[in-house]
Amino acid sequence: MHAVTGHYTKVARNINMERLRNNYLFPEISVLELEHIKKYPNAKVISLGIGDTTEPIPDIVTLSMADYARALSTREGYKGYGAEQGNKALRKAIAETFYGDLEVKDTEVFVSDGSQCDISRLQLLLGSNVSVAVQDPIFPAYMDSSVIIGQSGDYQDETLKYRNVEYMTCGPKNHFFPNLSTTSRTDIIFFCSPNNPTGHAASREQLEQLVAFARENGSIIVYDSAYSAYITDESPRSIYEIPGAREVAIEISSFSKFAGFTGVRLGWTVVPEELLYSNKVPIINDFNRIVCTCFNGASSIAQAGGLTCLSSEGFQAMLAVVDYYKANAKILVDTFASLDLKVYGGVNAPYVWVHFPGSRSWDVFAEILEKTHIITVPGSGFGPGGEGYIRVTAFGHRETILEASTRLRSLFR
Amino acid sequence: MSAIHHPRHLSTSISSSTSAFLGQNNFNTRTQSVPLPVRNNGSCKCVATPSAEKTAYTTKVSRNANMAKLQAGYLFPEVARRKAAHILKYPDAEVISLGIGDTTEPIPEVITSAMAKRSNALSTVEGYSGYGAEQGEKVCLILFYKNSCQNPLLYRHVDSSSRSVQPLRAAIATAFYGHLGIEEDDIFVSDGAKSDISRLQVLFGSGVTMAVQDPSYPAYVDSSVIMGQTKQFQKDIEKYANIEYMSCTPENGFFPDLSKVSRTDIIFFCSPNNPTGSAASREQLTRLVQFAKDNGSIIVYDSAYALYISDDNPRSIFEIPGAKEVAIETSSFSKYAGFTGVRLGWTVVPKQLLYSDGFPVAKDFNRIVCTCFNGASNIAQSGALACVSPDGLKAIHEVIGFYKENADIIMDTFNSLGFNVYGGKNAPYVWVHFPGRSSWDVFSEILEKTHVVTTPGSGFGPGGEGFVRVSAFCHRSNVLEACRRFKQLYK
């Protein structure tokens, strides 16, 4: 809503912001949730929409954060600015815990306040002149940040796609892995595995193809491994498990879904030293410059918590919560399967991807919400490749998941 | 049969932009062993290969031209690097840091206990919270649970457009903008000013022109270069083409002569100023607001040091009538509450601030915040809430007072030595003039001879040449010792 009267500046609105089609997906879901609650004040609304963790963080971690906070009131314990790249011990712990056999150095790990921020900082790094490819469907931040930084052209209503972006369709027909032989070359390839929203974890063979593709094309993969802790089978947990990936890939990840840190805010990006621009400048140098100029480090308290998460006791505690959510996912997968719905994901990721062929995903979303008071996310919010699907998250208290399961069974029977 | 190893020495293109990074990470060359496939014919054909530097794999992605424009590493890591080198050289010296403006005094307990409490609550069912609103905490968690007993299964909080209680945003609005007509939903909580500045640049895009004070906090210029708003650095004048540098000197009372300033879309203005310590007067800011209004510009007003003001100077740009239509204000708890590591700040984007087509700037900023950010740490937000409680405000004023006393001591010292000294009264920085001298030389001289780290003025822009910034963040004993050493050196 514009102000009715008053001064207009002479500053033109950023054309890239004008290009964005909708509001960011998840606040939109929140608005709908709120409206629904207002409409049905006595309904017991269940949120399986936004992928927000629900279970308390294990004591060992929060106690360490509380201790760290209290120590900031003491002369010996007070610390001011930390290194923008992150606390050294934490960088080391991340390298050892997640990349132990993969030769990732602590100096290649950049601690952050989470993937959403990292994605945007990477976009700032890469600039507006690079071409990008995204999976379709995909977590919207890659697409939206790409538009914001000016890498895309206008949105086309006919195709529901932005110009100048390569959309790599991922669906049941291609085992949720793009057909690279029909994918055009782009500078950057965003790839999320295990995938949000489809839940698919790319196999070793698939990732070898991806790395080879990137290598042939001189492209950079930005690999989002935020859900790697949810992998049940032998699927790779890091792109660096693939030989040659160090020269073609950046990896981002997060404590959000691994440690319940969605509010605490902690993540990291790996930029290997071997990753070079066409003019041989190491990307790590420029990324470091971005981090030093556009950021001032993740909260020291969050970092203290992160370090505890990676202690052996902390790590076991984290995995126990991850297992809890994985058990939730299984309940949901079983529920939908028992209703003869085609269900994907839920095995290597906390998302269940349910197919409603021939239906519009916003219609299914609305029907589920209206009739069972369950919030989900319509697949088309993740790109045109998500049309006809609904994403259901496995984050929730067990009794809530069971209740949701009961309601869904009665709706779709 | 063993694989043939060809060590590859890759020399990085080591420019000064990497100096800070190299200093921190100590890699100057990288070797890469690439095992070649084993030959199956039973003999090893060893072919003398030239040094393989030229055949190292590179991607085909062009480096962002904007990054190439940057002249050197960000200023403060460079200062840190020199400090580290100095410590290595003089391992027994007691190096005193008055360089990077890093707070040193413990955070008052009323604040850290709130953060400890929030941390502990995250381990409980009732107290656990996941994603917060990206703009800052809205719903008071405990209150929400108590009041929603008819909805025991509802455990998701609702979003930005809700009109429910917004404790931190409302508390900041009340504490700092009480009578200025700034409302809670004009406030966007963040992880600090540096991140906010970059998000504002992403908001504005590459097509805008900007003006900065000269000298100024380097993040404004550097983020502008990164965003693509500037042209090349001009070595002869030490300025980036396409940025309007507004000279702030003793001669003009550290306020630019606006009659000589060209119109730009955006004007970055920091008051109290980092590095000069000067606080703009009401009269000056009125002229600045008028200038912005006449030119249809947007002021980005950095008020991170407002609570250091001793006299009557405005603490917020919004004290000036009409400012809501021309200004954004950014601030931080870093220098108020010692939150330099904890990370909490905020940006005010008034509803009345409109683009040329009438579109509200706040709407786009909200979109940026929702897409490029995911909220400040909830624990830090609890700390900030405690900061603006009555006890918290009292406590942080005491810490600020302590640093201000440090500034007094530093000012007195340099004054007594006959230097022209600026700042220090309304800011935790003292700006000392060394006419005719290179500021990096003075920095090095002071470091070498007194083991005190300062910040060379030219790091803040060509207008800083000939000055050194001395920060007042320090333990009292160190400030006194540093001043004793200054007196020795410059007596």
Question: Model confidence over A203-260: pLDDT tens digits?
Answer: 999 999 999 999 999 999 999 999 999 999 999 999 999 999 999 999 999 999 999 9
User: From A304, which residue of chain B is nearest by alpha-carbon distance?
Assistant: B342
**What pLDDT does B45 receive?**
46
Select from B10, B155, B364 the Cβ nearest to the Cβ of A17. B364
Q: Please state whether B274 falls in left (phi above 0), alpha (psi between -120 and 50) or beta.
A: beta
Q: How do strand B298-302 and strand B327-332 relate by DSSP bridges?
A: parallel
Query: CB-based contact (8 Å) between B146 and chain A?
Result: no
Average pLDDT of the segment spanning A325-337 = 98
**What pLDDT does B54 receive?**
55
Select from A3, A45, A53 the Cβ nearest to the Cβ of B351. A3
d(CA A13, CA A19): 11
Which chain A residues are within 8 Å of B104, Cβ to Cβ? Answer: 78, 80
Given an 8 Å threshold on Cβ–Cβ distance, is A289 in contact with B377? no
Given an 8 Å threshold on Cβ–Cβ distance, is A285 in contact with B21? yes
A214 versus B44: the higher-pLDDT residue is: A214
A315 versus B13: the higher-pLDDT residue is: A315
A279 to B12, B50, B59: CA distances (angstroms): 10, 21, 9
- CB distance B272 to B315 below 8 Å: no
B140 versus A11: the higher-pLDDT residue is: A11
**What pLDDT does A30 receive?**
87
Residue B116's SS3 state is helix
Report which of B207, B346, B193 is spatially closest to residue A18, judged by C-alpha positions: B207
Highest mean pLDDT among A1-5, A68-72, B77-81 belongs to: A68-72
Structure tokens given for B200: 């504002």
Which chain A residues are within 8 Å of B325, Cβ to Cβ? Answer: 6-7, 9
d(CA A241, CA A243): 6
Q: Is the peptide bond before B275 cis (omega within 30 degrees of 0)?
A: yes
d(CA A57, CA B120): 9
State the ipTM, two decimals. 0.96
d(CA B288, CA B320): 10
Tell me the count of A-B CB pairs closer than 8 A. 416
Q: How do strand B298-302 and strand B266-270 relate by DSSP bridges?
A: parallel
Given an 8 Å threshold on Cβ–Cβ distance, is A277 in contact with B61? yes
**What pLDDT does B151 receive?**
33
Mutate to test the interface with B, among A246, A292, A300 (most CBs of B within 10 A): A292
User: From B360, which residue of chain A is nearest by alpha-carbon distance?
Assistant: A2
DSSP state, residue B354: B
d(CA A73, CA A125): 37
Q: How do strand A249-254 and strand A220-224 relate by DSSP bridges?
A: parallel
Q: What is the biggest distance separating any 2 CA atoms in chain B, rounded to whole angstroms? A: 88
Average pLDDT of the segment spanning B131-152 = 53
Q: What's the predicted TM-score (pTM) here?
A: 0.91
d(CA B244, CA B302): 18
Report which of A80, A38, A367, A137 is spatially closest to residue B154, judged by C-alpha positions: A38
Query: CB-based contact (8 Å) between B49 and chain A?
Result: no
Highest mean pLDDT among A265-269, B72-76, B124-128 belongs to: A265-269
d(CA A260, CA A252): 17
